[in-house]
Amino acid sequence: MRAYNFNAGPSALPLEVLQIAQQELVNFQGTGMSVMELSHRSKEYDAVHEKAKTLLKQLLNISDEYEVLFLQGGASLQFTMIPMNLLSKNTVANYVLTGSWSEKALAEAKKIGHVHVSASSKENQYKHIPSINDLEISDNAAYLHVTSNNTIYGTQWSEYPQLNNVELIADMSSDILSHEINVEQFSMIYAGAQKNLGPSGVTVVILKKELLTNSTNELPTMLNYRTHADKNSLYNTPPTFAIYTLSLVLEWLANSGGVKGIERVNNEKASLLYSCIDYSNGFYKPHAKMDSRSKMNVTFTLPSEELTKKFLVEAKEKGFIGLSGHRSVGGCRASIYNAVPLEACETLAYFMNAFYKRNQL
């Protein structure tokens, strides 16, 4: 029996994807080799690489105005590459602080050039997403950086600012492909794979081609977006197995009704858990404010540390994995990414309701 996997990342993968990968593990499509053994210059791997790019473009409706790159180093390396490639001496990088990952992105940009905090919810323990109307964009802004979903605090942007003459960049590591977005609204989107796209090891970057003119030859070769765009993400050996699994996840998503179809399921999963919280008479207390609640990471606390420990122990006995909250927030967290089945959330909701009835004060 498979566990009910609510880990925040690396996180659940679709069972169908794992089964295909298992079947093809030692003999990929009659090659007599695993995907992990194929040359990244071979026609067999090239088909895998192009399949992943094509499916991603189709699912997100990405136009030819954008490059799709498969990079390494996780989203954390993008915190550095973005200002290195896009921030000049005469411009300012703007950041909206909504949690730990946006703080880390800001800290890296400070090492490269001038920065400005356009808005922050830190003073409110990151319980909400700042209003678009409250954003203060600096003069000479190179870009505005946002983190679309905050895994630790359980908050998520429901709409994005419409900007004139300022590039909008989003770290979508934890909610990419979970709901429909207009890619044309962004100059760049990036996402580590290990939450909604596949296993850890590959990072997807969707970048407007016109921005590549900012990537100068003075940059280190591997930290230059143009290097990877010019070589179709094959300048050096890519994480081939991670990209292969990414292609399988994208195929699974396409066969599951695409982004629109998975969004309906995600809404249902989130509604199940938030209903448990809202109707528990304060027994389960959400961290995020109502209008900023994440549909990917449901965060909540219980009335006492003793009850929290009891909840987690009993949950583990029932097969629920990964429900501990982040150490900076405490409490509990259920990460319900695309691959977490509806059944897992239904079973968790039943457990939460039963636990509340048994332990309400």
Q: What is the pLDDT of residues 193-238, one digit of tens each?
A: 999 999 999 999 999 999 999 999 999 999 999 999 999 999 999 9
Q: Are 99 and 296 in contact (CB under 8 A)?
A: no
Nearest 5°: phi and psi at 126?
55, 45
Q: How much of the chain, in percent, has pLDDT values that exceed 90?
A: 98
Is the pLDDT at 1 greater than 90? The verdict is: no
**Residue ranges per structural domain of the chain:** 15-255, 257-359
d(CA 46, CA 40): 7
Strand positions, DSSP E, 214-354: 285-286, 297-301, 320-321, 332-335
Q: Return all residues near 170 (Cβ < 8 A) that are at least 6 apart.
A: 145, 146, 147, 148, 160, 186, 188, 189, 190
Q: Return all residues near 43 (Cβ < 8 A) that are at least 6 apart.
A: none
* 221 token code pair: 């070769």
Asked if the domains 15-255 and 257-359 are classified in one and the same CATH topology, the answer is no
For the residues 123-152, what does the mean pLDDT come to? Answer: 97
Q: Return all residues near 57 (Cβ < 8 A) that are at least 6 apart.
A: 68
Is the pLDDT at 152 greater than 80? The verdict is: yes
For the residues 146-152, what does the mean pLDDT come to? Answer: 98
Q: How much of the chain, in percent, has pLDDT values that exceed 70?
A: 100
Report yes or no on whether pTM surpasses 0.75: yes
- Is the CATH code 3.40.640.10 the one for domain 15-255? yes
pLDDT of residue 300: 98
For the residues 169-185, what does the mean pLDDT come to? Answer: 98
For the residues 57-76, what does the mean pLDDT come to? Answer: 98
For this structure, is 101 an active site residue?
yes
Q: Are 190 and 202 in contact (CB under 8 A)?
A: no
Mean pLDDT rounded to a whole number for the chain: 97
For the residues 182-188, what does the mean pLDDT come to? Answer: 98
For the residues 60-80, what does the mean pLDDT come to? Answer: 98
For this structure, is 195 an active site residue?
yes
Q: Which of 53, 101, 252, 295 is catalytic?
A: 101
Kindly indicate the confidence band of residue 71, based on its pLDDT and cuts at 50, 70 and 90: very high
pLDDT of residue 9: 96
Q: Which of 53, 157, 175, 195 is catalytic?
A: 195
DSSP for 114-155, written as a single string: EEEEEEE-GGGTT-SPPPGGG--PPTTEEEEEEESEETTTTE
Q: Return all residues near 218 (Cβ < 8 A) that are at least 6 apart.
A: none
Is the pLDDT at 158 greater than 80? The verdict is: yes
Is the pLDDT at 361 greater than 80? The verdict is: no
Q: How many CA atoms lie within 13 A of 86 on its CB side?
A: 30
Is the pLDDT at 333 greater than 90? The verdict is: yes
Would you say how long the chain is, in residues? 361
What pairs with residue 115 in β-bridges?
A: 93
For the residues 321-344, what does the mean pLDDT come to? Answer: 96
Q: Pairing between strand 167-171 and 285-286? A: unpaired
pLDDT of residue 36: 97
- Is the CATH code 3.20.20.60 the one for domain 257-359? no
What pairs with residue 144 in β-bridges?
A: 94, 168
d(CA 276, CA 37): 47
pLDDT of residue 320: 98
Q: Which of 53, 157, 171, 295 is catalytic?
A: 171
Q: What is the DSSP letter of 70?
A: E
Kindly indicate the confidence band of residue 302, based on its pLDDT and cuts at 50, 70 and 90: very high
C-alpha radius of gyration, the chain, whole number: 21
Q: Pairing between strand 188-192 and 203-208? A: antiparallel
